[in-house]
C-alpha cells in the first residue's frame, strides 16, 4: 500500500498578535523625561522587529502617579483592549503599570477575561499563566508599600522644612507675589494693586459678587486666567499672606493612594510664621476685613461651624426656581445700610454671571411670606403696563398647567394660601 501526501493549496497564515507597550514616569523633570523617551524607543524596536507581532503603539503617561487610574494614555490603552484591538501589553515592571494592589488586580482580571495578556519584563510574569496572578498579588503589594514609603518620606521632608520656616508655595497660583532666586516671596506690583483694590472695595461696602462682577467686566485677569467668582474674592480676603504672615500645612494628603488633599482642621500640625515676607495689606486693614466678613455672615444668619448653613439656611432655600434659566433663587438684602432696606429672592445664575447668563428674576421676601409654599415652585416674573406680575408653578407638575394663569386674590388684596396645590396663581405688586 502506498500513501501519498496531498499538500494544501493555500497555506494557513499565522495570525500576528496585536501588541502594545505601556510606560510611565511620575514627574516632569528632564531626567525622567529622557527615561520615558528611552522606554518608548525601546518598545517600538522590540515590537516592530518581532515577526509575530503587529505593532499597535506605545502608551506613555508623563508626570502621573501609578496609585491612581486617572492616567489618560493608560485609559486609552484599556479602551482599545476592550474593543479587541490589543492582544498583548508589555511593560517594564509592576510599579510602572500600577502601584495600587486593588487597581492592579482589578484591571489584570478584566483584561484576562477578554483574553488580553500583560507581560511584566522585570518580574518575568505573564498574567495568562497559571501562577501569574498569585505572583502578581505578592509583588504588587510590595510595589504599593514602596509607594507608601516614598510618600511618607516626602511628607517628612516637607514637615522638616515647615519646622524651619521654609515655605512651599506655588506662586503661579497665588496672586500678588513672585519668588526671587532664593525662593523668598517678593511683591508683584501689578498684581498687588488688584489685591489692594479688593480689600479697599470690600471695606467700602461692596460684596464678593459685586467685586467679582466688576473685575470680570473690566477684563482684569485672575492668576489662573479664569473668571472671577465671589469665592475667589473671599479666599483672597481671608489669606493671611497678604499681611506678611504664613500658615504652613493648611492642607494635607490623608491617603497616599488617592492623592487628594483636604483642609487641615487640627488633624496634623500646622505652623504659623509671623512677618515672613513683605505685606501688601496692613495688619490693621486685614483685621478690619476679617471683622467685616464675620459681621456680614452673622447678619445673614450664618453660624460658624454650621456645615448645613448653605443648604437650608432659610425655610425657602432650595425651593424657588427662576423660570428663565431654571436656577434656584437666592435670598439677598438690598440697600442693607439704608432705611429702604429690602429682602428679596433673586436668580443665583444672574447674581453670579450677570445678564449674559440670565435676565434674572427677583421677588420680595414679604410677598413670598404670604404664600403657603410646601413644595418646589417656579417663579415667573412678567412686566405688564409698567408693573411687575408674578406667577407660580409647581416644579414637579409644571406640564399640567394651562398657559393662562388664574388670579387668586381675595377682596382685601391678600393672597389665597393655595400655592401648595397643583394650580397656577398670579399676583400684582
Task: Match 453670579 to its residue by C-alpha cell.
Answer: 352
- What are the strands of the beta sheet with 342-347, ordered from one edge? 329-334, 342-347, 362-364
Q: What does the DSSP 8-state code read for residue 368?
A: H
Instruction: Enumerate residues 6+ apart whose C-beta is below 8 A from 25.
Output: 32, 33, 35, 36, 61, 62, 63
Instruction: Enumerate residues 6+ apart whose C-beta is below 8 A from 216.
Output: 227, 228, 354
Residue 183's Cβ-side half-sphere holds a number of Cα atoms within 13 Å equal to 7
Report the Cα–Cα distance between both ends of the chain, in Å, rounded.
114
CB atoms under 10 Å from CB of 385, counted, come to: 6
Strands 425-428 vs 406-407: parallel, antiparallel or unpaired:
parallel
Cα separation of 228 and 173, whole Å? Answer: 14
Catalytic hit among 26, 95, 147, 348: 26
In the annotation, is 141 catalytic? no
Cα separation of 174 and 129, whole Å? Answer: 52
- The residue among 159, 114, 109 whose CA lies nearest residue 134 is 109
List the helix and strand counts (H, then E) for the chain: 11, 19
List Cα–Cα distances, 422 to 322, 354, 425, in angstroms.
Answer: 18, 32, 10
Contact call for residues 333 and 320 (beta carbons, < 8 A):
no
H helix or E strand, kind and range, residue 388:
strand 387-394
H helix or E strand, kind and range, residue 119:
strand 117-120
- The residue among 191, 301, 276 whose CA lies nearest residue 236 is 191
Contact call for residues 103 and 69 (beta carbons, < 8 A):
yes
Cα separation of 383 and 252, whole Å? Answer: 53
- The residue among 32, 102, 116 whose CA lies nearest residue 68 is 102
Which three cell numbers, joined as nine digits, stand for 100?
495600587
- The residue among 44, 38, 37, 45 whose CA lies nearest residue 58 is 44
- Active site residue ranges: 26
Amino acid at each position: 500500500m502506498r500513501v501519498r501526501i496531498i499538500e494544501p493549496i493555500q497555506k494557513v497564515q499565522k495570525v500576528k498578535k496585536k501588541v502594545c507597550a505601556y510606560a510611565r514616569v511620575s514627574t516632569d523633570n528632564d531626567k525622567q523625561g529622557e527615561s520615558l523617551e528611552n522606554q518608548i524607543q525601546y518598545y517600538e524596536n522590540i515590537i516592530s522587529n518581532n515577526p509575530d507581532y503587529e505593532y499597535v503603539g506605545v502608551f506613555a503617561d508623563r508626570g502621573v502617579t501609578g496609585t491612581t487610574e486617572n492616567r489618560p494614555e493608560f485609559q486609552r490603552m484599556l479602551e482599545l483592549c476592550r474593543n479587541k484591538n490589543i492582544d498583548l501589553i508589555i511593560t517594564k515592571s509592576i510599579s510602572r503599570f500600577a502601584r495600587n494592589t486593588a487597581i492592579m488586580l482589578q484591571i489584570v482580571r478584566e483584561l484576562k477575561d477578554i483574553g488580553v495578556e500583560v507581560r511584566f519584563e522585570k518580574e518575568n510574569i505573564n498574567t495568562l499563566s497559571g501562577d501569574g496572578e498569585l505572583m502578581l498579588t505578592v509583588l504588587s503589594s510590595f510595589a504599593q508599600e514602596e509607594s507608601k514609603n516614598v510618600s511618607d518620606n516626602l511628607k517628612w521632608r516637607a514637615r522638616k522644612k515647615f519646622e524651619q520656616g521654609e515655605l512651599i508655595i506655588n506662586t503661579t497660583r497665588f496672586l500678588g507675589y513672585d519668588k526671587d532666586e532664593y525662593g523668598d516671596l517678593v511683591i508683584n506690583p501689578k498684581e498687588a494693586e488688584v489685591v489692594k483694590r479688593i480689600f479697599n472695595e470690600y471695606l467700602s461696602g461692596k460684596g464678593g459678587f459685586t467685586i467679582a462682577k466688576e473685575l470680570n467686566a473690566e477684563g482684569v485677569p485672575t492668576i489662573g486666567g479664569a473668571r472671577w467668582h465671589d469665592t475667589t474674592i473671599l479666599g483672597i480676603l481671608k489669606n493671611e499672606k497678604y499681611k506678611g504672615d504664613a500658615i504652613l500645612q493648611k492642607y494635607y494628603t490623608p491617603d497616599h493612594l488617592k492623592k487628594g488633599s483636604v483642609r487641615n482642621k487640627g488633624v496634623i500640625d500646622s505652623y504659623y510664621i509671623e512677618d515672613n515676607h513683605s505685606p501688601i495689606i496692613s495688619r490693621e486693614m486685614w483685621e478690619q476685613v476679617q471683622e467685616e466678613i464675620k459681621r456680614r455672615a452673622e447678619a445673614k444668619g450664618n453660624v460658624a461651624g454650621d456645615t448645613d448653613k448653605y443648604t437650608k439656611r432659610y425655610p425657602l432655600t432650595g425651593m424657588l426656581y427662576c423660570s428663565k434659566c431654571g436656577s434656584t433663587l437666592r435670598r439677598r438684602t438690598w440697600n442693607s445700610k439704608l432705611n429702604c432696606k429690602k429682602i428679596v429672592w433673586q436668580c443665583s445664575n444672574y447674581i453670579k454671571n450677570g445678564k449674559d447668563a440670565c435676565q434674572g428674576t427677583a421677588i420680595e421676601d414679604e410677598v413670598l411670606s404670604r404664600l403657603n409654599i410646601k413644595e418646589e415652585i417656579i417663579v415667573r416674573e412678567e412686566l405688564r403696563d409698567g408693573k411687575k406680575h408674578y406667577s407660580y408653578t409647581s416644579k414637579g407638575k409644571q406640564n399640567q398647567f394651562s398657559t393662562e394663569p388664574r388670579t387668586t386674590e381675595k377682596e382685601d388684596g391678600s393672597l389665597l394660601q393655595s400655592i401648595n396645590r397643583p394650580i397656577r396663581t398670579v399676583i400684582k405688586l
